[in-house]
Amino acid sequence: MNDYDAAPRDAGPRAHERNPARRVRPWPWLRYFALLLTLIPGLAPAAAPLSLTAVHEGPIGASVSYYQETGDRLVLQQAVAALAADSFRPAAAPILNYGIGARPVWLHFRVVNDTGEPLRRQLSVETTWLDRVEFYVRQDGRTLAMDQAGDSLPFAHRSVDSRHFVFQHSFVPGRSEVFIRVQTPDPMLIPLYLHAPEQARSHATLQQYSYGVLYGFLLALLIYNLMLYAGLGVPRYGLYSLYLGAFLLMNIAYTGHGFRWLWPDSPGWAQWSNPVLMVLYGVAGLAFALSFLETRCNFPRVHRAVLAYIGAGVGLLGLAALFSSQYFALLVAFSFVTLFTLIMLSLGLLAVRGGMRAARYFLLAAVAAMAGAATTALAVWGYIPTSVWTYRAVDIGMLLDATLLALALTYQFRVGQSERLLAEQLARQDPLTGMKNRRAFTDEARPVWNIAHRQGHPLAVVLLDIDCFKRINDSYGHAYGDKVLITVAEVIIDTIRQQDVAARWGGEEFILLLPETGLEEAAALAERLRQAIEAVRLRWGDDIITVTASFGVAERDVEHPNLDSLISVADKYLYQAKHDGRNRIRYRPVASVA
Ligand SMILES: Nc1nc2c(ncn2[C@@H]2O[C@H](COP(=O)(O)OP(=O)(O)OP(=O)(O)O)[C@@H](O)[C@H]2O)c(=O)[nH]1
């Protein structure tokens, strides 16, 4: 008698009905509804043996019956006795689900090999987090084979190198019975498949490719955003990378890739990795959301509430770790992540309603992630049909989520960039006339001066000031004075060449820097400008108003080592023009053009 044939201490038939197993089930009423459906004739699961020559593409839960332990562990003989005593119940869904912290469960089904040869088949439980899974094959009251797997054992203990719990067996001709015992504090989800070896291989290859695409895409996004963070130093790029990294790690952990590739000798971490990485994923997602939506400024109370939520989640997980309660850690992690998706959605809604345009992408991303997670949850609980698409919807949702969040970041970057450019432009522009202001003129004039100075080329400055402008203001009002300033600015811009630099120097004064222009040419330009301003006709009711301006002109020479001194010479001549009667040009002590 082996370990599995040892005598039971508490294994009475129907014992589970007196002492219901401790479990957490999502949406119990839906489950009861599903159970009710099985009572309708024709909807009850088939009890017929599974033919080993038929192709079973999907999970075979509907052909299985189950029995849940209530006290000490049962051994195989006791499970066989429970089956004989009719204590097993038909499973109601293709994928069996007993919730978090459920009591160990026994599954049973029959297979038939109606060929004359042994048929090799692969049984796999395609979840990765179950602590212990035992497989038994019996025929004619004898146990022919047994195997065990689970993430409580080092990876090397597995008889088949797979991230799932896999058992391979050559079924002899005739009828055989399969018993499977599953024990775990994690969500007891049992997608059970029966495949021929080549079918199992192509099934695994398809999964490998799809994970390759998922991980490759997310990794590329992660590295790109990390580089943006390193280059720009903007925290939201770093937090987005952290969010993607946390999702990747969580996915690698719960798909069993982590145990297979990264920590095969650490079954302890394999079991704790799921709750820890789920909480890390939620924390990173919320930290990114707070930074991206700028909640500290936009919604300070919400900001504090989300920080408190993060603190509570991390604190409770820490408590679970302190008391080594994996069950409590899983409860915390699942609740934290479920609420996390709702919080992300609410934050997105809040920001969109607050008028933040980039938040529309954020909201769509949150909806995609939530829809993906909800679809997968409904598929694994058996409430909607299970297919590659519904089972992997969480990954598809995450791909959409990551893409939309990347778009949101790009959009925000573009908006920030154009706002910055606009602000820079406004800081260099005179708001009334649209001309350059004094600061922009100084910036642009400096290199022009340097080139002319180095190459010994001519360069001239013209300063002009509207005559008796105070009188215009006093007679017609400040707004009319503004109109005069705008008109004079337009005349200046229409008169100068493209390479000339013109600006409003202050008040009713304008400045021109004329590269490759000698004194006489500059004076000629000033004269053209003087005439153009004088020719302007402005209306004030039925009256016609005219304006004039005075000009001071100076050319760069050895006596003026810098731009400031050249401007002061032009200013001196402007003063002289005013003094000599206005509406004229002065550019040398005695000569006058107008
Ligand atoms: N409407 C308007 N007036 C301005 C603006 N900036 C300065 N001024 C006015 O321009 C006038 C300049 O007056 P003054 O410096 O005495 O010079 P002026 O009356 O033009 O006399 P002269 O320069 O000697 O011909 C002041 O009344 C300022 O208030 C502006 O942006 N808009």
88: CATH: 2.60.40.2380
Q: How far, in Å, from the CA of 478 to the mean position of ligand 1?
A: 10
Question: 220 and 365 share a domain?
Answer: yes
Task: Concatenate the DSSP letters of all residues of 303-344 into one string.
Answer: HHHHHHHHHHHHHHHHHHHHTT-HHHHHHHHHHHHHHHHHHH
Question: 223 and 338 share a domain?
Answer: yes
Question: 183 and 262 share a domain?
Answer: no
Query: Residues 126, 134, 508, 555: which is the catalytic one?
Result: 508
For ligand 1, say whether the CB of 207 is within 6 Å of any of its atoms. no
pTM (two decimals): 0.68
Q: How far, in Å, from the CA of 572 to the mean position of ligand 1?
A: 18
What are the pLDDT digits (tens) for 338-378? Answer: 899 999 999 999 999 999 988 999 999 999 999 998 898 78
Question: 149 and 287 share a domain?
Answer: no
CATH number for 464: 3.30.70.270
Question: 183 and 279 share a domain?
Answer: no
Cα 184 off chain centre by: 33
Gap between the Cα atoms of 261 and 446, Å rounded: 63
Within 233-325, where are the H helices?
A: 235-254, 257, 267-292, 295-298, 300-322
Total domains in the chain come to: 3
- The residue out of 164, 195, 226 marking a domain boundary is 195
Q: Is 555 assigned a catalytic role? A: no
> In 3D, which of 367, 505, 518, 492 has the Cα closest to residue 440?
505
Q: How far, in Å, from the CA of 551 to the mean position of ligand 1?
A: 16
Question: 335 and 472 share a domain?
Answer: no
- The residue out of 391, 419, 447 marking a domain boundary is 419
> In 3D, which of 5, 379, 391 has the Cα closest to residue 179?
5
Question: 219 and 100 share a domain?
Answer: no
Closest Cα to atom 18 of ligand 1: 468
Structure tokens at 486: 């705008």
Is 430 within the bounds of a domain?
no
For ligand 1, say whether the CB of 266 is within 6 Å of any of its atoms. no
Is 432 within the bounds of a domain?
no
Gap between the Cα atoms of 130 and 405, Å rounded: 33
Question: 85 and 22 share a domain?
Answer: yes
- The residue out of 419, 447, 480 marking a domain boundary is 419
Q: How far, in Å, from the CA of 578 to the mean position of ligand 1?
A: 14
Is 428 within the bounds of a domain?
no
For ligand 1, say whether the CB of 131 is within 6 Å of any of its atoms. no
Question: 149 and 254 share a domain?
Answer: no
Is 391 within the bounds of a domain?
yes
Residue of 433, 470, 530 best suited for mutating to test ligand 1, as the one with most atoms within 8 Å of CB: 470
Which domain, by its residues, includes 67? 3-195
Question: 559 and 413 share a domain?
Answer: no
Is 120 within the bounds of a domain?
yes
What are the pLDDT digits (tens) for 199-257? Answer: 888 888 888 899 999 999 999 999 999 999 999 999 999 999 999 999 999 999 989 99
Is 269 within the bounds of a domain?
yes
**163: number of CA atoms within 13 Å, CB side?**
21
Q: How far, in Å, from the CA of 357 to the mean position of ligand 1?
A: 44
**Torsion angle of C-alpha atoms 373, 376, 377, 383, degrees rounded to 10:** 140
What are the pLDDT digits (tens) for 76-117? Answer: 999 999 999 999 999 877 888 888 889 999 999 999 999 999
Is 317 within the bounds of a domain?
yes
482 CA closest ligand 1 atom index: 1
For ligand 1, say whether the CB of 468 is within 6 Å of any of its atoms. yes
**Angle at the Cα of 475 (from 470 to 476), degrees rounded to 5?**
105
Question: 578 and 539 share a domain?
Answer: yes
3-state DSSP assignment of residue 14: coil
Is 427 within the bounds of a domain?
no
Question: 498 and 411 share a domain?
Answer: no
For ligand 1, say whether the CB of 259 is within 6 Å of any of its atoms. no
What are the pLDDT digits (tens) for 281-332? Answer: 999 999 999 999 999 999 999 999 999 999 999 999 999 999 999 889 999 9
Are the CB atoms for 471 and 415 separated by under 8 Å?
Answer: no
